[in-house]
Amino acid sequence: MNLPRGAVMAFGVTSLATLASASFVSLAAAQTPIVGSAEANPDNWPARAATLAPDPAIERRIDELIAAMSLEQKVGQIIQADIASVTPEDVYRYHLGSVLNGGNSDPGGRYNASAKDWLAAADAFYAASMRANGKLPRIPVIWGSDAVHGHNNVVGATLFPHNIGLGAARNPDLIRRIGAATAIEMRVTGLDWTFAPTLAVVRDDRWGRTYEGFGETPEIATSYAAPLIEGLQGKIGDKDWLRGPHIIATAKHFLGDGGTHGGKDQGDAQMPEAELRDIFSPPYLPALDAGVQSVMVSFSSWNGVKMHGNRSLLTGIMKDRWNFDGFLVGDWNGHGQVAGCTATDCAGSAVAGLDMYMAPDSWKELYRTTLAHVRDGSLPTARLDDAVRRILRVKLRAGLFEAGKPSSRPFGGRFELLGGAEHRALAREAVRESLVLLKNAGRLLPLRPGSDILVAGDGADNLTKQTGGWTLSWQGTGTKRSDFPNAQSIWEGIDAEAKAAGGSATLSVDGRYTRKPDAAIVIFGEDPYAEFQGDRPDVGYDDAKNLALLRSLRAAGIPTVSVFLSGRAMWVNPFLNASDAFVAAWLPGSEGGGVSDMLFGKADFRGKLPYSWPKVSDQTAVNVGDADYDPLFPYGFGLTFADKGELANLPETRAAAAAADPGLLFAAGKPGSGRRLMLGAPGALSTNPGPELIEARGADRAAQEDSVRLRWTGAGLAVAAIVQDAPADLSRQSNGDLALELEIRVDEPPSADVSLVMGCGSQCAGGFPLRAMLAEAAKTAKWTRIAIPLRCFEKGGVDMTRVETPLSIATSGTLDLVLSSARIVSPSGPALKCK
């Protein structure tokens, strides 16, 4: 946005205090109406014996510990706090049993904190848990982390393909070795527990976590569960089980997370018990057989009842029928979605069978209310003791009581192993095995040695796009090339391969060239996302720029290979038609050289589709075995170089997607369709400018990171703006008395004037001062609604027929606020009055 200094227009406003006090209470998650029984009958489920017989020495020691523990200490053991909201001193004072780092939580609040910082933080939390506290026994804290495709929260770690790619590989031994490598890299930084593997069976590809699932049937996840867990934990009976190079693993998310109606994250799996059992539970049985020590409970519901409160499944099936003797851990404040609960008060979840609450930012008040529930009997002491026993059992099995501080344990501080040559070679092998060849007309692949190759597309030299979500940040966004010191982009791999084969490669993202190449490789696909924000209305892929590029290359007679980066199977008919060869590369991780290996024929393609490929853009739930099964490419499809790779021209008519809300500027943690959140100095906005002037981080309101925290540093004039991809005509909305409505919480009042501005191009803007209103809102620290009629902006000089920036907030001072939503709507309450 090109906003001239001093361009803000002032408006008269009425009753600022009244508006600032129009606050919002915490949003309770609505329970989906029950459509069938949510009570599992154990007799309908396979029975299994306990994986391990009780160890008398361990059980005796647990008895001694529980007898010596205070009630406060017991409650602390069943609560897990996020490192962004807890300190080592808190762990000591409240006896917390565990900490975690959420997808956007890092030591010192820096997404690119060094490995040394991670290890130092692990030492600090451990030391706090072991510091003498009267006569109370010392119980070591455990640190959990979402290491879902390598140790993906740490700069320099090896990043393996996401599970969707590994599912295409169909190689259990490869999976075992990946688990072992991930465990070692976690041990290097002092962490001892991963929230992996994800054993979801994904039935609707609209789900934003599709790429975390190995496939659409239980087959692949069931074959992978045991080897991956044994790679992470070691084998039962071995001396290094859960110790040395190994860590604690987690099977997740129990149960039905990939089967929610409409593919909605945290949604409702509406199905009979037999379907829940037969499709979604099979991978858990080999996981238990391999000795997995923790199981994470799903955010989702089954027939309207939240899993975090479903006793029949948590206790009746997992613990009683399947004899699981480890512990059940919750997901990010998931207990707060149980009927009758909040994130800070939920005895019902523990009564249902949850052993450890994941209470990232709610832990302190949850600790207080849980203590009260034990004292008044609403959380029985026997249930509390059982949860504590399970947590202690895992800690004792892992040898944590005698292990010493994390930096002193085997592999602690051996930073050369992060992204080391052996692990990177393994990741490159995994990439090679994960790629699926969908088209190869005229046997264009493998590319001929000595060829002059044009490399184009916005994914070519883009490690942010190549690595996907859950990479240094929750959604995988906001990273830059320097954050991947031990990685190779796909372009870098192609460049090296082309030169080694006696040819050449030229990078031109937009596809321009001065000399006609022998062939072109265009790399494109989905931008990074993760759960919740990654949900889609359909599976149609839209990318006008790269489609035009492919068509222009085809028109010029240049043989073209498409390399498609995605976290799900998608309708790409126009792109298939415009390409001579088409490779589904999924989200390959840090080793782009694995892609180039395949393009140049260092190995033959062996990857097979783990998900059926849609024939039309609204074919969102197409699964092998369906009565009307009719995909473009079936489950298990994948060409080799020897196969005939021609493909008949495909229909390109896109089924209409679910209409995007044109009035939605920001909600659910992300900008609305066709809009971007841009930050920085006026005239120099970008999506990731660095924290010098302004910083944006995910924040929680009703769900994990469904809001954004904006913090101005005061180092200079800085702007946070929602920018349109194309100008919008809001004149009708202005005439109709619609308003710009914001829901915000002010955590730190502004230290200087603040302007709320709407922009309509160069030297075209209007707005009004916001400082007084924000200062008033800061006094309550509650969610506050602010509504400004669009006609106020129009009167201030905004050309409503060409709005480019419907929302921007600018200040040269300090300010800390959380934006939950921004919409252009009919005001839901009082609105400002303009002159």
Q: How far apart are CA 82 and CA 76, in angstroms?
A: 14
Task: Give mean pLDDT, residues 136-150.
Answer: 98
Written as one letter, the residue type at 461 is D
Element (H, E) at 507: strand 504-507
Contact 141, 193 (CB under 8 A): no
Q: Under DSSP, is residue 373 helix (H, G, I), strand (E, B) or coil?
A: helix
User: What's residue 795's pLDDT?
Assistant: 83
First to last CA, the chain: 26
Contact 576, 650 (CB under 8 A): yes
Beta strand ranges found along 140-179 (DSSP E): 142-145
Q: Which two tokens stand for residue 546?
A: 């790269």
User: What's residue 350's pLDDT?
Assistant: 98
Higher pLDDT, 451 or 18: 451
Q: Which two tokens stand for residue 820?
A: 């939950």
**Between β-strands 327-329 and 294-297, what pairing exists: parallel, antiparallel or unpaired?**
parallel
- Range name among 204-213, 345-354, 642-651, 776-785 with the lowest pLDDT average: 776-785
User: What's residue 661's pLDDT?
Assistant: 75
Q: How far apart are CA 357 and CA 361, in angstroms?
A: 11
pLDDT band at 31 (very low <50, low <70, confident <90, very high): very low
pLDDT surpasses 90 at 12 = no
Q: Give per-residue pLDDT as tens, 582-616.
A: 999 999 999 999 999 999 999 999 999 999 999 99
Question: Measured at the alpha carbon of residue 244, what is the angle toward residues 238 and 246, in degrees to the nearest 5?
Answer: 75
User: What's residue 659's pLDDT?
Assistant: 63
Task: Give mean pLDDT, residues 660-674.
Answer: 87
Written as one letter, the residue type at 683 is G
Number of alpha carbons in the 13 Å side-chain half-sphere of residue 549: 23
Task: Give mean pLDDT, residues 229-235.
Answer: 98
Q: How far is CA 411 from the centre of its chain?
A: 28
Task: Give mean pLDDT, residues 93-115.
Answer: 94
Residues that are catalytic: 331, 531
Task: Give mean pLDDT, residues 344-358.
Answer: 98
User: What's residue 658's pLDDT?
Assistant: 59
pLDDT band at 685 (very low <50, low <70, confident <90, very high): confident
Task: Give mean pLDDT, residues 189-200.
Answer: 98
pLDDT band at 484 (very low <50, low <70, confident <90, very high): very high
Contact 279, 305 (CB under 8 A): no
What is the largest distance, in Å, between two alpha-carbon atoms of the chain?
A: 80
**Between β-strands 675-681 and 193-194, what pairing exists: parallel, antiparallel or unpaired?**
unpaired
Q: Give per-residue pLDDT as tens, 804-834.
A: 999 999 999 999 999 999 999 877 677 777 7
Contact 648, 439 (CB under 8 A): no
Task: Give mean pLDDT, residues 123-148.
Answer: 98
Task: Give mean pLDDT, residues 264-291.
Answer: 97
Q: How far apart are CA 640 and CA 607, in angstroms?
A: 9
- Taking CA atoms, 744 is separated from 23, 710, 724, in Å, by 9, 10, 21
pLDDT surpasses 50 at 575 = yes
What are the backbone angles phi and psi of residue 644, rounded to the nearest 5°?
-70, 120
Query: DSSP letters along 654-706, please?
Result: PPPPPPP-TTEEEETTEEPTTEEEEEEETTEEES---TTTEEEEEE-SSSTT-
3-state secondary structure 523-580: EEECCCCCCCCCCCCCCECCCHHHHHHHHHHHHCCCCEEEEEECCCCCECHHHHHCCC
Element (H, E) at 791: helix 790-795
User: What's residue 477's pLDDT?
Assistant: 87
Q: How far apart are CA 171 and CA 160, in angstroms?
A: 14
Q: How far apart are CA 295 and CA 551, in angstroms?
A: 48
- Range name among 248-257, 455-464, 743-752, 822-831 with the lowest pLDDT average: 822-831
Across the beta sheet with 452-456, the strand order is 436-440, 581-586, 560-565, 519-525, 452-456, 504-507
Contact 471, 529 (CB under 8 A): no
User: What's residue 34's pLDDT?
Assistant: 41
Q: How far apart are CA 96 and CA 810, in angstroms?
A: 40
Contact 375, 347 (CB under 8 A): no
Q: How far apart are CA 96 and CA 98, in angstroms?
A: 6
- Taking CA atoms, 250 is separated from 55, 258, 360, 381, in Å, by 21, 17, 18, 26
CB proximity list for 350: less than 8 A, separation 6 or greater:
78, 357, 370, 379, 383, 384, 387
- Taking CA atoms, 29 is separated from 337, 341, 703, in Å, by 5, 10, 9
Radius of gyration of the chain from its Cα atoms, rounded to whole angstroms:
27
- Identify the CA nearest to 744 among candidates 777, 722, 702, 789: 777
Round the average pLDDT of the chain to a whole number and report it: 92
